[in-house]
Every structure is written in structure tokens, then in C-alpha cells.
Structure 1
Amino acid sequence: MNEKPVISVPSVLLPILAAMLGLGLFSVMDGVMKAASIAVGAYAAMCWRGLAGAAMMFPLWLWRGQGWPAPAVLKVHVLRGVVASVMAVLFFYGLVRLPLAEGIALSFIAPLIALYLAALLLGEKVRPAAIGGSVLALLGVAVIAGGKFDGPADAEAVKGLIATLVSAVLYAWNLVLQRQQALLARPEEVAFFQALVTFLFLGLGAWWFAPFPSSEVWSLVLVSAALSAVSIMLMSWAYGQAEAQVLVPLEYTAFIWAAIVGWIAFAEPVTMPMLMGVSLIVAGCLYATRGGAAAS
């Protein structure tokens, strides 16, 4: 007689909670980076945040005693660092021209793309619950977009829209690389090399595009770097414990945090379509993650 294996609920719940906390901190970081990008530009803000983040994580990486990564692992670090750098510059370029919550909402095409990339690149089986939950959440994004983009758009808003959508496609690839990276390295190594690669890659154009920040902007950059490092470690640990398709739908909860941060920091209104869309997003996340946990 075959018995079904018993699944420990905490083993499924803890990665989900870690991912949600990481996403919440990321949303706060997005707000800080929007302020820094308005001041010095998205390229400069990302470049100097990379330097600050690498300096913060270097002692922790040394203390953990992992040593220099193997060539195969280093290749993944570099690839994700480059993809994340381009993705982030485009995203913050868009956020300067769009409200924070709208930028996050537009980026939500990424988890849908990531589900299929995870199946293609990682060999994960895409479960019906993951697809159904993501589609339900995408309907929530459509409700929000319908309430937000119901009037004429200016040229800067169109630029922001295009940049955010391209960033979302790269973010989908970044999510899959995040899963690969989490299986190869510890969270502090992931955070250190992502920051380092970002600075080295964007540093190539720093002479032209990244003027040295003032003390006020440096304070924003340092806070952003700290939030980013903690968020990356939380997300890396979560993705090392659970499949990408279980955690990817949780990306939609970032909209809730973005709406709160945008309202507090930038006086961006919270509308009824936004609340209706958030309800669909949360429902989709719960359906997808519970379905994934039951199938594990």
C-alpha cells in the first residue's frame, strides 16, 4: 500500500513569508530610488547604489568564508548582475515618469513570462494552480490599468510606459536567474555579487552618466542599498527553498506596498479601481501559492 508523503506546513510557509517580506522591503526601496532617480537620474542612482551595496556586503561575504565562486557560479552571478542592472535602470527611468503603483502594476507581466521561462530553463512543471492564479492576478492589473490610463498620455508618460514594459520582460528572466543563483550560492554571496556586478557594469559609463552624488542623494543611495541587500538575501533564501512558480505569483503583492509608499511619500492617490485590482491580485496569489503547496 502506497502512502502519500507528509508535507511540513512550515517548510512551505517560511519561504512564502520570507519572499513577501523581501518584496515589501523592495517596494520601500523603489520609493527611495525614485527620489534618488529624480535627483540624479536612474543610471547614476543605480551605479552608486551598486557601489554602496557591494561595500556593505563585502565584510559579510568575507566573514562567511565562502571564498571566490567557481567559474560556473560566477557566470550566473555576472549574467544576473548585468540583466538586473539594465532592468533596474529602465524600471527607475519609468518610475520617474509614472506613479510608483502604476509602474509596479505594469511590471506584473513579468511573473507570467517567468512561469514559462522556469519551465523552459529550469525544467519545472507548470501546475494549473500557478497558471490560474497568475491569470487571476493579471486581471487585477488590467482593472488597475483601466482605471489609471483612461485619459490622454503625454510623451514622458509614454516613455515611462515603454521603459517599464521592457524592464518587465527582463525582470522575468531575472526571476528565473534568481532561482538558479539561489541553488548555487548563499544569500550573502548573491547580494554581494549582484551589487558588485551592477557597479562594475554601470561604472563603464559613469564618467558620462553618473555624476558623483551630493550628501543628500548619498543618504538615499545608502538607505536604498541596505534595503536592497536585505531584500535580495531574503528572496535568495526563499527561492532556494521553494520552486519559482510557487513564489513568482507573490510578486503581485508588491503592488500593495507600492500603493502605500506612493501615497505616503509622493501623495499618489489610492482609487477604487486600484483597490478592486488589488483584491484580484491577492486572490490570485493565494490560489496559486496554496495550489503549489498542495502539489508539492
Structure 2
Amino acid sequence: MPPATTAPAPLTHQPLRGLVCVLGATLLFAYNDTTNKLLIADYNVPLVTAIRYISHCLLMLALVAPFQGREMVRTVRTRLVIVRAASLAFGSFLISLAFQRMPVPETTAIAYLCPVLVVVLSGPILREKVQPVAWIAALVGFSGVLLIARPGGGLDPLGVIFALGNVIVATSYNLLSRVLAHTERTMAMLFYSALVGAIGFGIFLPWTLYGVAPTQLQLALFASLGVSAWLGHYLFTQSYRYAPAALIAPMTYVHLLWAGLLGWFVFGHAPEPIAIGGMLLVALAGIISAVRPRKGQRPAQLASEDGLTEKAG
């Protein structure tokens, strides 16, 4: 467990470390989606979401608070931290409602409009230099998503609305993750994400706490929601400390690969050949984004381009 610190770790240009973090995060997110899909078949969405965030919050209080102390609740831009947390919580709720009405591949494909928007907006909003290769990587990855999901036929209109709503709030969450990485501690952002979700959905428990008694397996799945969310978002937040949004965004498409594998393992849905081709495009997008040309530039210039020279407060 990391020791308490007086300042957040500074942003550094370590793209490989950032890519490792985002790969681990997307695997945990795919597991979380699969578990969520299983549980909402028997329980209502607000209840499942509340248990996820409450368990996440309790884990942090039990395992992190003794080491971090006041540092876990200390923030510089508290309002933005809360907006980021609310974006994540509301996005979780919307995507769960979408999962109730649509298959996982189609829902996830719509959700992956978000990384494309992050690439588009990271220039004007985050002042990061978005090179043409990063645009190509985003487009290749999005093409792979379309091949995997092939949306457009027989989708529930209300489910599509929920999924598009998730895209909007998830884009806000992604951009704020990068902005706040300059001044906020990872553990503090994780704690406020858990706290806001736990309070926001927990207050409705008297009206949502109903349904059949869970089995031992379901209890384990409920508990794992909080663990996978905590670890996934920790790795995701860390990835933004090591690499710019334009690099992280295309790599999040690997989520589709993990989701396809877990979907085959849990639900028995083997990917079709055209979907496998889409997964290969997703992997290609990650490779392109990781090795995009940056010749003739000194490390200081690279840091400046990636917005990493701002001193963390």
C-alpha cells in the first residue's frame, strides 16, 4: 500500500507504463460489465449499482484510510473532483440500464464512441497536441468496434438513449481524469468516486432493497463488483499520469477484446470471424497509438507536447 504523501505524484512521460495500467484497467472493467450483466438479470439496477459503490467505499476505508489518513480526503479542486465522481456514478447507472435492454456487444460499441470524443476534445480542452497518427489509431479502433458489434438492427430505442447518455458522461469523466491528474492524488479521486456513488445510490436502498435472497455465488459476485471497480479505476487513473489522453483513449478499445473473451466464457457466445477481424483492428489501434512517430524531439519537448510540464500542486 502506498504511503501517505503531501503532494500527488507528478505527471511523467512513461507511455509503456501507462499502457500496462490501461490494459489491466480494461480487463477489470470487462469483468465488471460481465458480472453486472449477470446480477441485473435477478436484481434491479439501482440496487446492484449501490452495492458496487458501497463495497468500493468500504474497501477504501478499511484498506487505504489507515495508510493515507487525511490525504485520502484532501483535494485542491474539490468541485471538479465531485463532478468527475458524479459522472462516473451516473455513467455506471446508464450503462447498466442499457445492458438490461441490449446485448453487451452493441451496448459496448455505442459506449466506445467515448474514446473518439476524447481524442477530438483533448486538443482544444486539454491543450494536448493530437498528431495525425493518433487520429488514425482512433478511427481504426472505432472501425474494429463496428465490425465486432455491427449495430443498427433491432436495438431497443430506449437502450440506445441510455448508452448515448453514458457516452456523454463518460467523456466528461475521461477528460476530468486527465485535468485533475495535475493536482489531485489518485487515492483521493478514487475515494470521492466511491463516496459519491455510495451516497447517491445508497439513499435509495430502502426502496430498491428487494428481490430473492442471493446465493453464495451471487454474494461473491456482489463483493467482487467493488473490488474490480476499485482496482480498475485505480489503474485507469494512474494511466493518465504516465501518458496523454490521445494515447490512452485508443488503447481503451482493448476492453472490447476482454469483453468478447469473457462473453464467450460466461455466456457461450463465440465471436464470428468478422468480429475477430474487428478485435484485430482494435489491437492494431493500440499498437499504432503506442508507436506513433515522435522523431527529432528531445524529452523536454515530448513532455511539453503531452502537457506534462505543468507542476503538480
Task: Report the TM range for the smaller structure's normalisation.
Answer: 0.7 to 0.9
Q: 1:215 to 1:144 in 2, by over 3 A?
A: closer
Q: Which stretch shows the higher mean deviation, 85-94 or 101-110?
A: 101-110
Q: Could you tell me which residue of structure 2 aligns to residue 176 of structure 1?
A: 175
The aligned counterpart of 2:264 is: 263
1:106 aligns with 110
Local SS of the residue matching 1:269? coil
The aligned residue for residue 77 of structure 2 is 73
Partner of 1:197: 196
Q: Map of 1:7-26 to 2, 5 A cutoff?
A: 11-26=14-29
2:8 counterpart residue number: none
2:130 alignment partner, SS class: coil
Residue 87, structure 1, aligned to residue 86, structure 2: no
2:250 aligned residue: 249
Residues 279, 145 of structure 1: alpha-carbon distance in 2 compared, 3 angstrom cutoff = same
Q: Larger helix proportion, structure 1 or 2? A: 1
Q: Does 1:142 align with 2:159?
A: no
Match of 2:222 in 1: 221
- Shift of residue 188, structure 1, vs aligned partner: 2.4
| SS class of match (2:204) | helix
* One-letter amino acid of the structure 1 residue matched with residue 196 of structure 2: V
CA distance 1:214–1:176, change in 2 (3 Å): farther
* Closer/same/farther in 2, CA of residues 291 and 261 from structure 1, 3 Å limit: same
Q: Offset at 1:220?
A: 1.8
Q: How many residues align?
A: 282
CA distance in 2, matches of 1:20, 1:293: 23
Query: Take 1:67 and 1:259, find their aligned partners in 2: how far apart are those partners?
Result: 36
Q: Aligned partners of 1:293, 1:254: CA distance in 2, in Å?
A: 26
How many Å apart are 1:55 and its aligned residue?
Answer: 0.3
In 2: Cα distance, 1:284 partner to 1:204 partner: 42
Match of 2:127 in 1: 123
Distance change (3 Å), C-alpha of 1:242 and 1:76: same
Greater Cα offset, 213-222 or 38-47: 213-222
Tell me by how many angstroms 1:281 deviates.
Answer: 1.6
The offset of 1:290, in angstroms, is 1.6
Q: CA deviation at 1:67?
A: 5.1
SS of match in other structure, 1:39: coil
Q: Residue 73 of structure 2 contacts residue 188 of structure 2 at CA under 8 Å; is this kept in 1?
A: no
Cα 1:141–1:68 change in 2 (3 A) is closer
Distance 1:225 1:192 in 2: 12
Paired residue type of 1:46? T
**Superposed counterparts of 1:222-237, under 5 Å:** 222-237=223-238
- 1: distance between equivalents of 2:72 and 2:37? 35
In angstroms, what is the RMSD of aligned CA positions?
A: 2.4
Q: Which runs of 5+ in 1 are unaligned?
A: 1-9
Deviation at 1:165, TM superposition (A): 2.3
The alpha carbon displacement at 1:193 in A equals 1.5
Matched, 1:44 2:47: yes
> What SS does structure 1 have at the residue aligned with 2:258?
helix
Distance 1:88 1:56 in 2: 19
Residues 172 and 292 of structure 1, relative CA distance in 2, 3 Å threshold: farther
Q: Distance in 2 between matches of 1:256 and 1:11?
A: 24
1:61 equivalent in alignment to 2:65: yes
Distance in 1 (alpha carbons) for counterparts of 2:66 and 2:124: 35
Q: Deviations over 1:10-43 (max 9, x none)?
A: 9221111111111111111111111122221222
**Cα 1:206/1:12, change in 2 over 3 Å:** same
- 1:7 aligns to what? none
The answer for the alignment partner of 1:286 in structure 2 is: 287
* Percent identity of paired positions between Structure 1 and Structure 2: 19
Contact 1:118 1:124 in 2 (8 A): yes
TM-score, normalised relative to structure 2: 0.82
* Greater Cα offset, 93-102 or 46-55: 93-102
Query: In 1, distance between residues paired with 2:237 and 2:269?
Result: 31
Deviation at 1:130, TM superposition (A): 1.1
Give the Cα separation in 1 of the matches to 2:245 and 2:192.
21
Alpha-carbon displacement from aligned partner over 1:63-82 (angstroms, at most 9, x marks no partner): 12315323x43222211111
Partner amino acid for 1:35?
L
